[in-house]
Amino acid sequence: MSTGSATPPSGTGPDQTPPAALAGDRRFFGHPLGLMTLFTTELWERFSYYGMRAILVYYLTDTIANGGLGLDQTLGEAVVSIYGTGVYLLSVVGGWLADRLIGARRSTLYGGIVIAAGHVCLSVPAAGFSYFGIVLVALGTGLLKPNVSSMVGALYDRQDPRRESAFSIFYMGINIGSFFSPIIVGAVRAVWGYHAAFSVAAIGMGIALVFFVLGRKNLQGAGDIVPNPVQPGERPALVRMFAIILGAVVVVYLLAVLVAGGWGVHALIDALSYIAFLAPIAFFITMYRSPRVTDAERPRLVAYIPLFVAAMLFFMIFEQAATTLATFAADRTSREVLGFTVSPEFFQSINPASIIILAPVFAWLWVRTKDRPPTPYKFAIGLALAALSFLVLAGASAIAGDNLTPGWVLAVVYVIQTLGELCLSPVGLAATTLLAPRAYQGQAMALWFLAPAAGQAITAQLVQATEGASDTAYFGGIGLVALGFAAVLALLGPWVTRHVRRADALEGVHTSGE
């Protein structure tokens, strides 16, 4: 959602030369009409995604008599968290497929079709269809997520001054969709039930596909080109690589089965968690040991590690909007507002609303301060604010005791997290592309996606390990640990800066990563 969940452009779009016709096209607020196509597509896709996510934990944990699946709360929250992990892991695959095999436009189209099919399955009142629908939505989002915004970049030359404002407009569409969807889907759920609400998400994705297909001519071929197609000589090596990856996944799953003592949902949660933890480690080791990485680039890579861990912990807290915070909204929060009772899904609209209001303020602030403080301190501030949000919730829960917590408390929690997101998320990808070795620039987006993947995997494990703990202990414990790491990162700030400067000195350049 917002800048945290929105996908900045991958390596696909910016490297393509847009058609000359797009340079003079100013029919959509001074931008090419193709931007309107992508704006509306992403608005409705995010509407469907966040509408489905807003009610998913309620559907999984509600009683069968009420139309739910009857999972216990802990398992339901773990499933939603690992679903988020799967989306980000599959986004790495989706980006690779677009870059090497099918292009961004077809990847987006195929992903949208799979997502729509998933929402339709969820609208069918049968547990088997529900689980299959969740898998389809994850697969489709993995195809669509990293590629639709790369097509925005493909509409502009690198030097086009409209480029930055184009992404501002595009991200506004994301936040409009994610603002309205929890409210509308929540209202439908309250009146007609879960499957009718999932149908609303399906309709949203259907509208997104209509805009995307009918607006293809406006894109002028943007996203059609496969930027780095697989060459015939590469195929044997790729087959070996995929065989190794598949074998590793099988081994990890079998290990998870042994740990869980069975083949059920718990084993799947553990397996995806292990993969999410191992993938970034493998990335860092591969990059550091690669002969294509220079001695000057290795210090930057080392400097990026604490930033990556901070991002992982930030998203571990931030993405609990759809799990523990959703449960807290339903069970522990007074939802009376001006004499009306709001749905628990309403609180998930606070983040995108806050982004719409606060993002211009932060953009102005970074300009006024000349982009200060340096990157590691922005990461530390963002993580500290996320930690503070959980500490506020822990304190409010302790004060409330067995009573309900006032609704404004949860609203404040979401606003604090948004402030943290605006400090950390916009600079996250920039830091990733800046500090990643040149030979791995095309995979920088994949590395960034692994932070929220691992963060949500931590949540999936935490909610199971802390089952039975009070809200005060759970949120307070996580908040204190995250705050402690934010303090460590702040202390490491000079160390990170020295490593970047050392790499700059070896290359005779000056970067903005300090």
Three-state helix/strand/coil letters over 93-161: HHHHHHHHHHHHHHHHHHHHHHHHHHHHHHCCCCHHHHHHHHHHHHHHHHHHHHHHHHHHHCCCCCCCC
13: pLDDT confidence band, cut at 50, 70 and 90?
very low
Q: What pLDDT, in 10s, does the model give residues 248-297?
A: 999 999 999 998 888 888 999 999 999 999 999 988 998 888 888 888 78
Q: Is the dihedral of CA 271, 272, 274, 279 positive or negative?
A: positive
Task: Locate 349 and state its tokens.
Answer: 């609209």
Query: How many other β-carbons are positioned within 10 Å of the β-carbon of residue 244?
Result: 10
Given a contact cutoff of 8 angstroms between Cβ atoms, the answer to whether 115 and 301 are in contact is no
pLDDT, residue 5, reads: 44
Q: What pLDDT, in 10s, does the model give residues 142-178?
A: 999 888 878 887 888 767 777 777 888 888 888 999 9
Of residues 486, 370, 349, the one with CA closest to residue 424: 486
pLDDT, residue 18, reads: 61
1: pLDDT confidence band, cut at 50, 70 and 90?
low
Gap between the Cα atoms of 173 and 41, Å rounded? 9
Query: How many other β-carbons are positioned within 10 Å of the β-carbon of residue 495?
Result: 13
pLDDT, residue 407, reads: 93
**pLDDT at 401 exceeding the cut of 80:** yes
Query: Phi/psi at 18 (nearest 5 deg)?
Result: -70, 155
Which residues have CB under 8 Å from 10's CB, separation 6+?
Answer: 95, 98, 99, 146, 147, 149, 150, 445
Our CA angle for 169, 174, 176, nearest 5°, is 90
117: pLDDT confidence band, cut at 50, 70 and 90?
very high
pLDDT, residue 156, reads: 81
Q: Tell me what percent of the residues of the chain surpass a pLDDT of 90.
A: 59
pLDDT, residue 158, reads: 67
Of residues 303, 302, 349, the one with CA closest to residue 325: 349
Q: Tell me what percent of the residues of the chain surpass a pLDDT of 70.
A: 92
pLDDT, residue 51, reads: 93
Residue type at 74 in one-letter notation: T
20: pLDDT confidence band, cut at 50, 70 and 90?
low
CA-based Rg of the chain, rounded to a whole angstrom? Answer: 22
Crossing angle, helix 103-122 and helix 73-97, to 10 degrees?
160
Given a contact cutoff of 8 angstroms between Cβ atoms, the answer to whether 390 and 475 are in contact is yes
**pLDDT at 482 exceeding the cut of 60:** yes
Gap between the Cα atoms of 311 and 429, Å rounded? 10
Query: Position of tokens 């690669």?
Result: 290
pLDDT, residue 3, reads: 46
Query: Phi/psi at 228 (nearest 5 deg)?
Result: -140, 65
Q: What is the pTM of this model?
A: 0.90
Q: What pLDDT, in 10s, does the model give residues 417-451?
A: 999 999 998 788 777 877 878 777 667 778 888 99
Higher pLDDT, 153 or 139: 139
Q: What pLDDT, in 10s, does the model give residues 86-114?
A: 999 999 888 889 888 899 899 999 999 99
Give the CA diameter of the chain.
Answer: 69
- Residue 399: HSE in the Cβ half-sphere, 13 Å Cα cutoff: 10
**pLDDT at 395 exceeding the cut of 80:** yes
Gap between the Cα atoms of 116 and 486, Å rounded? 40
Q: What pLDDT, in 10s, does the model give residues 331-390?
A: 999 998 777 889 999 999 999 999 999 988 888 887 788 768 888 999 999 999 999 999
Q: What pLDDT, in 10s, does the model give residues 190-218?
A: 999 999 999 999 999 999 999 999 998 88
Gap between the Cα atoms of 234 and 238, Å rounded? 6
Strand partners, 28: 31
230: pLDDT confidence band, cut at 50, 70 and 90?
confident
pLDDT, residue 17, reads: 59
How confident is the prediction for the chain on average, in pLDDT? Answer: 88
